[in-house]
């Protein structure tokens, strides 16, 4: 059984059909990428999985449980979280406070949260140097690192990453993808939404392509590439 | 100089009460985007709580605590019963709900308790004055300044040090992302209402000490002032609400002290004009402006 | 089916009976458009209780003059002036003989003007602005102690105490809080007193520190401070005044006749204020209070209960006087000529008063948190400053 199972997922905003009958699954330990042009419905799909936007149809199973009707914070407690598009760190909180909030889901003592924080600082040394700085004053790349680190504080088994490379310089993008690779080594399962198809297919085990809210292609990176990804997905580099 | 210092302290005491009131509104607005116009009725409830507690022979300090606890409980209940069902509706719906809650409470107070004011005796020890240099400061005013300072400090500590406090600040900035971190939305919102209830209770007690009675419409004016304070400081900003409250206090006392008699009648018009002027230069309010510059 | 038929037949009976009852000769209809909710409710709710008590007593005794049972029709105008007009039209459509209007000038004017056009005598039970009847017309009567009357009684008192300089504290927010102190100033000056200063406040401002600091700076220091401020302003004012170390005597008006003032403790000691009557032993007001308690199982919450009772007694006296005629013009003329009618608060005279009655003003002093009687004054009409 897959860790995440999405069946016939439909999302509507009033008259707009953002996602239609989309199906997708992610197995334990995999990195799966979800590709698609601007407005294809990728973010909508992730937000729907997390309970941030209501489903107009379909079901989402995580770890064998039906979670479509659960509240966001409950889903986080089950071990799945999302690093949203555009980073969205809490600007007037310090780096440290951002991380502390990341651990809000774990009911454990602050001691544990502290240990995890140290782990994050080991993973992202740049954050450690700036732990008292307000998150809003960090650079874009630093903010993205903080956003990922913050998500990892809840020790998710499945991390949904929405366009982590958005608006970042190429060398920073490389760093972000290094981090993704290291996360997989730590056993974190990842569903990665990306505009940068080449890079995403490089790290991914499998991929899906979304167009106008529908899944139009899926398979191994090589299959997707040979299927003429460019035809359906014009954003490829 | 003495006149000035005296008026300065006056402004500080009044501004402090406004700050507490404004903060109560802002705490809820920051997480829910709702100006809770029923906030004033929480003050009124504090008054009735104290009135009935004293009637049943409860010792004075305990009666005050009962008043605050009542306001806090009512605030949390108000959220549960009235605002949670409309939480995902438009801002207008929530605003109208808060008006409805306020009106319903007015009518309940008027018909179940009394339309006439109920007297709340204030201990004589509180009506005296303390002499500092050549100035006389009323004990109640001194108390207002002190209580405001302590409340602000306690709230600041809570927001800075406790996980729930940090979660509330996070939720105020980006509610959905806070939920993605596992922050319990209901808990945060309930806490916000609870805090607003505590603040309304404390401000209510200070207000009651001055007026010596509680009546069904007591909360109307303070909530209006609090609203001005919040808009002045910047909607959604907690520090803004505090600053806005103090500015309003200083504007009001300053005008009352220094305006010539002939134009005194236009005092409120002038003070509102000043408020509008401030908003003209800082359309988002004083604090939000600085945050936006970042 | 049975049920439906039954309901229908009951409804039919009611429909058949209603018009007959309404036209019955032995009923006088009194409409009361009052503020039973909202900002004016503190005045109109007690007034209504007094009205109800009087109606109950009269009806139990067989009606006015032993003939006319009183039918009371009440409408809540929710303290909104526009609603006052709407509700007045509604009760007029039900053919009331006399109308009672809300407890404030503006809604009373709104109600009075409609009733004036319909030639229905209207009495404002507790609006105290003396210009009210003049604004509306010859069918509009006041009942309550007028502001200028009360102010004159206070000025008599101030003069008798030997006060030379008075300071008045007023608010331009309502005619009551503004004009009453000004009437006082006029009456006081007519008696040779001086006004040492005028300080203004805003109703509901809660903080009087700026005003108190100002009063402190006035020289020569006033011998007495007079104000028509009431709750919540008066308590806040007097507390801050006393805590600033100012011991000047304070005169107040009937607005502070409430348990709140008595509960203020030390700061309110010695305050003298006027009101519509003091329930000395054996007085009509004491009897009213006892009747009230027996009827409602509670003490009257304010003197408005008694003045509400008074209005019905005035109507009763008028109908007795006009030979049991119930038409508007007859009742109007009768009220206008009433003299020394015995009511709960004492006696009341309309004759020669331009529909603003002459009645007793009682002066009270707060001693040990209790209201004590100073004296009853019926001012000389010539000393009363003209209504303006
Ligand atoms: N809150 C919303 N209200 C209304 N329409 C929305 C909302 N969010 C998204 N949409 C619409 O739904 C469609 C899908 O948007 P979505 O953000 O899911 O696309 P995306 O694939 O993430 O795009 P991008 O690559 O630009 O981030 C778009 O047409 C968008 O305009
Ligand atoms: Mg997107």
Chain mean pLDDT for chain A = 88
Q: Say whether both A129 and A74 belong to one domain.
A: no
Specify if A166 maps to a domain.
Answer: yes
* Residue A74 Cβ < 6 Å to ligand 1: no
Residue nearest atom 25 of ligand 1, based on CA coordinates: A38
For the segment A165-174, the average pLDDT, to the nearest whole number, is 89
A76 and B178 within 8 Å at the Cβ level: the answer is no
* Residue A42 Cβ < 6 Å to ligand 1: yes
Per cent of chain C over pLDDT 90 is 77
For the segment B129-138, the average pLDDT, to the nearest whole number, is 78
Specify if B226 maps to a domain.
Answer: no
pLDDT tens-digit readout, B12-24: 989 999 999 999 9
Q: Give C10's pLDDT tier (boundaries 50, 70, 90).
A: very low
Q: Say whether both A134 and A177 belong to one domain.
A: no
Nearest to C198 among B216, B218, B261 (CB): B261
The CA B183 to ligand 2 mean position distance, Å, reads 23
The owner of tokens 């406004």 is B18
* Residue A86 Cβ < 6 Å to ligand 1: no
B79-88 CB contacts, 8 Å cutoff, 24+ apart: B79/B189, B79/B190, B79/B193, B80/B190, B82/B38, B83/B32, B83/B34, B83/B36, B83/B193, B84/B186, B84/B189, B87/B32, B87/B189
Is A77 near chain B, with CB under 8 Å?
yes
At residue B245, the pLDDT reads 94
Residues A159 and A188: beta-carbon distance below 8 Å: yes
Specify if B249 maps to a domain.
Answer: no
Specify if B179 maps to a domain.
Answer: yes
Per CB-CB distance under 8 Å, the chain B contacts of A93 are 166, 169-170, 173
* Residue A228 Cβ < 6 Å to ligand 1: no
End residue of a domain, out of A155, A171, A189: A155
- Is a pLDDT exceeding 60 seen at residue C20? no
Q: Which atom of ligand 1 approaches the CA of A235 most closely?
A: 25
* Ligand nearest to the backbone CA of A84: 2
At residue A231, the pLDDT reads 62
Q: Give C51's pLDDT tier (boundaries 50, 70, 90).
A: very high
At residue C370, the pLDDT reads 92
Q: Give B2's pLDDT tier (boundaries 50, 70, 90).
A: confident
d(CA C234, CA B211): 8
For the segment C313-322, the average pLDDT, to the nearest whole number, is 95
Q: Give A233's pLDDT tier (boundaries 50, 70, 90).
A: low
For the segment C80-102, the average pLDDT, to the nearest whole number, is 95
Q: Which atom of ligand 1 approaches the CA of A195 most closely?
A: 25
**Higher pLDDT residue, B39 or C7?**
B39
C209 and B261 within 8 Å at the Cβ level: the answer is no
Q: Give B131's pLDDT tier (boundaries 50, 70, 90).
A: confident
Q: Which atom of ligand 1 approaches the CA of A19 most closely?
A: 14
B176 and A137 within 8 Å at the Cβ level: the answer is no
Residue nearest atom 17 of ligand 1, based on CA coordinates: A43
**Strand arrangement, sheet containing C250-252:** C194-200, C165-170, C224-227, C250-252, C272-275, C361-367, C370-377
The CA A42 to ligand 1 mean position distance, Å, reads 8
Cα B157 to the center of its chain, rounded Å: 19
Chain mean pLDDT for chain B = 89
pLDDT tens-digit readout, B53-69: 999 999 999 999 999 99
- Is a pLDDT exceeding 60 seen at residue B290? no
Q: Say whether both A167 and A231 belong to one domain.
A: yes
At residue A236, the pLDDT reads 39
For residue C42, the distance in angstroms to the closest alpha carbon of chain B comes to 4
* Ligand nearest to the backbone CA of A234: 1
pLDDT tens-digit readout, C222-265: 999 999 999 889 999 998 899 888 999 999 999 999 888 998 88
Tokens of residue B220, six digits: 């109307």
Query: How many interchain CB pairs under 8 A, A with B?
Result: 80
Per CB-CB distance under 8 Å, the chain A contacts of B179 are 52, 71-73, 76
Report H helices in chain B: 2-32, 39-55, 60-78, 91-108, 139-161, 163-173, 175-180, 185-211, 220-233, 238-258, 267-281, 286-293
Q: Say whether both A161 and A146 belong to one domain.
A: no
Specify if B108 maps to a domain.
Answer: yes
Closest to B79 (Cα-Cα) out of B44, B111, B31: B31
The CA A43 to ligand 1 mean position distance, Å, reads 7
- List the single best residue of C207, C218, C252, C296 to mutate versus B (max B Cβ within 10 A): C207
For the segment C289-295, the average pLDDT, to the nearest whole number, is 96
B63-67 CB contacts, 8 Å cutoff, 24+ apart: B64/B205, B67/B201, B67/B204, B67/B205
* Residue A196 Cβ < 6 Å to ligand 1: no
At residue A63, the pLDDT reads 93
The subunits that touch chain B, with at least 3 C-beta pairs less than 8 Å apart, are A, C
Is C210 near chain B, with CB under 8 Å?
yes
Q: Which atom of ligand 1 approaches the CA of A14 most closely?
A: 4
Specify if A179 maps to a domain.
Answer: yes
A93 and B166 within 8 Å at the Cβ level: the answer is yes
* Ligand nearest to the backbone CA of A15: 1
Chain mean pLDDT for chain C = 90
Per cent of chain A over pLDDT 70 is 92
Range of the domain at A196: 28-54+69-79+156-237
At residue A106, the pLDDT reads 65
- H or E stretch covering A145: helix A140-152
Say which range, B200-214, C34-48, C203-217, C238-252, has the weakest mean pLDDT.
C203-217
Q: Say whether both A74 and A99 belong to one domain.
A: no
With b meaning 16 or more CB within 10 Å and e meaning fewer, what string describes C292-329?
beeeeeeebbbbbbbbbbbbbbbbbbbbbbbeeebebe
A92 and B184 within 8 Å at the Cβ level: the answer is no
> Could you tell me the CATH number of the domain that includes residue A167?
3.40.50.300
- All structural domains of chain C, each given as residue ranges with its CATH number in brackets, are 9-145+282-357 (3.40.50.2300), 148-275+362-383 (3.40.50.2300)
At residue B21, the pLDDT reads 94
Per CB-CB distance under 8 Å, the chain B contacts of A106 are 182
Is C39 near chain B, with CB under 8 Å?
yes
- H or E stretch covering A24: strand A16-26
At residue B287, the pLDDT reads 78
Nearest to B119 among C207, C233, C260 (CB): C260
Say which range, B72-86, B126-140, C59-73, has the weakest mean pLDDT.
B126-140
Say which range, A174-183, B98-107, C315-324, has the weakest mean pLDDT.
A174-183
List the single residue in C with minimal CA-CA distance to B269: C202
End residue of a domain, out of A105, A123, A155: A155
- List the single best residue of B164, B182, B186, B237 to mutate versus A (max A Cβ within 10 A): B182
Specify if B93 maps to a domain.
Answer: yes
- Is a pLDDT exceeding 60 seen at residue A235? no
- Is a pLDDT exceeding 80 seen at residue B197? yes
Nearest to B173 among A76, A90, A137 (CB): A90
Is C209 near chain B, with CB under 8 Å?
yes
Q: Say whether both A177 and A73 belong to one domain.
A: yes
Q: Give C98's pLDDT tier (boundaries 50, 70, 90).
A: very high
- Is a pLDDT exceeding 70 seen at residue C134? yes
If contacts are CB pairs under 8 Å, which of residues 220-279 in chain C contact chain B?
231-233, 235-236, 239-240, 242-245, 258-267
Q: Which atom of ligand 1 approaches the CA of A36 most closely?
A: 21
For the segment A38-52, the average pLDDT, to the nearest whole number, is 94
Q: Give C9's pLDDT tier (boundaries 50, 70, 90).
A: very low
- Is a pLDDT exceeding 50 seen at residue B292? no
Q: Give A162's pLDDT tier (boundaries 50, 70, 90).
A: very high
Query: Over the Cα atoms of chain A, what is R_g?
Result: 17
Q: Say whether both A75 and A173 belong to one domain.
A: yes
> How many independent structural domains does chain B possess?
1
B181 and A92 within 8 Å at the Cβ level: the answer is no
End residue of a domain, out of A155, A186, A210: A155
**Higher pLDDT residue, C122 or A101?**
C122
* Ligand nearest to the backbone CA of A196: 1
Range of the domain at B193: 13-217
Collapsed DSSP state (helix, strand, coil) of residue B42: helix
B10 and C213 within 8 Å at the Cβ level: the answer is yes
Is A153 near chain B, with CB under 8 Å?
yes
Q: Which atom of ligand 1 approaches the CA of A213 most closely?
A: 14
pLDDT tens-digit readout, B162-192: 889 999 999 988 899 999 998 888 999 999 9
Per CB-CB distance under 8 Å, the chain B contacts of C205 are 252, 256
> How many independent structural domains does chain A possess?
2
Specify if A85 maps to a domain.
Answer: no
pTM of the model: 0.84
d(CA A33, CA A163): 10
- Is a pLDDT exceeding 60 seen at residue C357? yes
Q: Say whether both A114 and A219 belong to one domain.
A: no
Query: How many interchain CB pairs under 8 A, B with C?
Result: 147
* Ligand nearest to the backbone CA of A36: 1
Q: Say whether both A134 and A172 belong to one domain.
A: no
- Is a pLDDT exceeding 60 seen at residue B145? yes
Specify if B280 maps to a domain.
Answer: no
**Chains A vs B: touching, with 3+ CB pairs under 8 Å?**
yes
Q: Give B262's pLDDT tier (boundaries 50, 70, 90).
A: confident
Q: Say whether both A126 and A181 belong to one domain.
A: no
For the segment B211-217, the average pLDDT, to the nearest whole number, is 91
Residues B232 and B278: beta-carbon distance below 8 Å: yes
Q: Which atom of ligand 1 approaches the CA of A85 most closely?
A: 27
- Is a pLDDT exceeding 90 seen at residue B3? no
At residue B238, the pLDDT reads 86
Residue nearest atom 24 of ligand 1, based on CA coordinates: A38
Q: Are strands C122-124 and C98-100 parallel, antiparallel or unpaired?
A: parallel
- Is a pLDDT exceeding 60 seen at residue A96? yes
A72 and B176 within 8 Å at the Cβ level: the answer is yes
B184 and A73 within 8 Å at the Cβ level: the answer is yes
Specify if B234 maps to a domain.
Answer: no
pLDDT tens-digit readout, A110-148: 566 777 788 888 888 888 999 999 999 999 989 999 999
Q: Say whether both A177 and A200 belong to one domain.
A: yes
Specify if B258 maps to a domain.
Answer: no
The CA B147 to ligand 1 mean position distance, Å, reads 49
Q: Say whether both A217 and A101 belong to one domain.
A: no
């Amino acid at each position: 059984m897959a860790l995440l199972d999405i069946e016939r997922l439909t999302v509507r905003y009033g008259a707009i059909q953002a996602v239609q009958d989309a199906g997708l699954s992610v197995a334990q330990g995999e990195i799966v990428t979800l590709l698609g042009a601007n407005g294809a419905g990728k973010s909508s799909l992730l937000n729907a999985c997390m309970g941030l936007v209501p489903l107009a149809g379909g079901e989402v199973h995580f770890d064998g449980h039906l979670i479509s009707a659960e509240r966001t914070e409950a889903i986080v407690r089950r071990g799945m979280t999302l690093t949203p598009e555009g980073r969205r760190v809490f600007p007037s909180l310090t780096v440290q406070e951002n991380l502390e909030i990341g651990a809000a889901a774990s009911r454990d003592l602050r001691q544990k949260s502290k240990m995890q924080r140290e782990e994050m600082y080991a993973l992202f040394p740049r954050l450690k140097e700036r732990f008292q700085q307000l998150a809003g004053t960090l650079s874009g790349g630093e903010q993205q690192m903080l956003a990922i680190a913050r998500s990892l504080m809840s020790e998710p088994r499945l991390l949904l990453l929405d366009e982590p490379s958005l608006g970042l310089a190429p060398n920073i993008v490389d760093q972000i993808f290094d981090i993704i690779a290291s996360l997989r080594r730590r056993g974190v399962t990842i569903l990665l939404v990306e505009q940068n198809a080449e890079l995403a297919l490089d790290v991914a085990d499998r991929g899906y392509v979304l167009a106008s809210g529908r899944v139009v292609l899926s398979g191994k990176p090589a299959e997707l590439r040979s299927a003429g990804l460019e035809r359906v997905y014009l954003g490829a580099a | 100089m003495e006149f000035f210092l005296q008026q300065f302290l006056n402004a500080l005491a009044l501004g402090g009460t406004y700050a507490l009131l404004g903060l109560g509104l802002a705490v809820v607005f920051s997480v829910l985007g709702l100006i809770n116009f029923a906030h004033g009725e929480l003050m009124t409830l504090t008054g009735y709580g104290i009135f009935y507690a004293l009637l049943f022979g409860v010792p004075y300090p305990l009666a005050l605590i009962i008043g605050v606890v009542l306001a806090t409980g009512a605030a949390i209940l108000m959220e549960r019963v009235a605002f949670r069902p409309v939480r995902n509706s438009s801002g207008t719906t929530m605003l109208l709900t808060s008006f409805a809650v306020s009106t319903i409470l007015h009518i309940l107070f008027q018909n179940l308790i009394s339309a006439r004011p109920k007297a709340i005796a204030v201990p004589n020890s509180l009506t005296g004055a303390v002499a500092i240099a050549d100035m006389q400061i009323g004990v109640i005013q001194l108390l207002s300044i002190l209580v405001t300072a302590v409340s602000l400090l306690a709230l600041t500590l809570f927001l800075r040090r406790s996980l729930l406090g940090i979660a509330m600040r996070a939720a105020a900035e980006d509610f959905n992302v806070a939920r993605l971190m596992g922050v319990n939305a209901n808990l945060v919102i309930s806490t916000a209402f609870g805090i607003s209830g505590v603040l309304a209770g404390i401000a209510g007690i200070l207000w009651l000490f001055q007026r010596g009675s509680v009546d069904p419409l007591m909360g109307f004016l303070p909530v209006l002032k609090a609203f001005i304070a919040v808009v002045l400081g910047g909607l959604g900003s907690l520090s803004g609400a505090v600053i806005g409250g103090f500015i309003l206090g200083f504007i009001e006392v300053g005008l009352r002290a220094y305006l010539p008699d002939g134009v005194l009648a236009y005092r409120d018009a002038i003070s509102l004009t000043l408020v509008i002027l401030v908003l003209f230069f800082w359309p988002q309010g004083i604090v939000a402006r600085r945050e936006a510059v970042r | 089916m049975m049920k439906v038929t039954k309901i229908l037949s009951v409804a039919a009976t009611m429909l058949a009976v209603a018009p007959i009852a309404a036209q019955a000769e032995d009923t006088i209809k009194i409409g009361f458009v009052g503020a039973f909710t909202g900002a004016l409710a503190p005045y109109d709710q007690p007034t209504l209780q007094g009205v109800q008590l009087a109606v109950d007593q009269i009806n139990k005794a067989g009606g006015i003059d032993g003939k006319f049972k009183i039918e009371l029709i009440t409408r809540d105008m929710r303290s909104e002036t526009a609603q006052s007009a709407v509700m007045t039209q509604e009760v007029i459509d039900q053919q009331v003989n006399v109308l009672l209007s809300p407890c404030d000038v503006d809604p009373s004017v709104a109600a009075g003007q409609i009733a004036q056009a319909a030639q229905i005598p209207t009495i404002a039970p507790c609006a105290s602005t003396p210009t009210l009847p003049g604004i509306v017309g010859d069918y509009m009567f006041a009942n309550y102690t007028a502001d200028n009357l009360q102010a004159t009684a206070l000025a008599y008192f101030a003069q008798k105490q030997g006060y030379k300089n008075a300071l008045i504290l007023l608010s331009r927010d309502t005619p009551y809080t503004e004009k009453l102190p000004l009437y006082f100033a006029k009456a006081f000056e007519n008696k040779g007193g001086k006004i040492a200063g005028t300080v203004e406040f805003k109703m509901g401002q809660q903080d009087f520190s700026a005003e108190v600091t100002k009063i402190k700076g006035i020289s020569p220091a006033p011998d007495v401070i007079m104000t028509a401020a009431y709750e919540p302003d008066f308590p806040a004012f007097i507390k801050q005044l006393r805590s600033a170390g100012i011991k000047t005597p304070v005169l107040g008006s009937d607005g502070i006749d409430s348990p709140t003032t008595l509960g203020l403790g030390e700061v309110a000691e010695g305050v003298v204020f006027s009101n519509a009557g003091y329930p000395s032993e054996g007085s009509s007001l004491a009897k009213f209070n006892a009747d009230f308690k027996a009827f409602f199982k509670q003490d009257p919450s304010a003197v408005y209960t008694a003045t509400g009772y008074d209005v019905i007694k005035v109507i009763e006296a008028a109908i007795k006087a006009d030979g049991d005629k119930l038409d508007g013009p007859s009742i109007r003329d009768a009220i206008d000529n009433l003299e020394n009618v015995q009511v709960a608060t004492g006696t009341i005279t309309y004759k020669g008063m331009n529909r603003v009655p002459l009645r007793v003003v009682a002066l009270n002093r707060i001693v040990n948190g209790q209201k004590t009687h100073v004296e009853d004054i019926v001012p000389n009409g010539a000393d009363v400053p003209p209504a303006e």
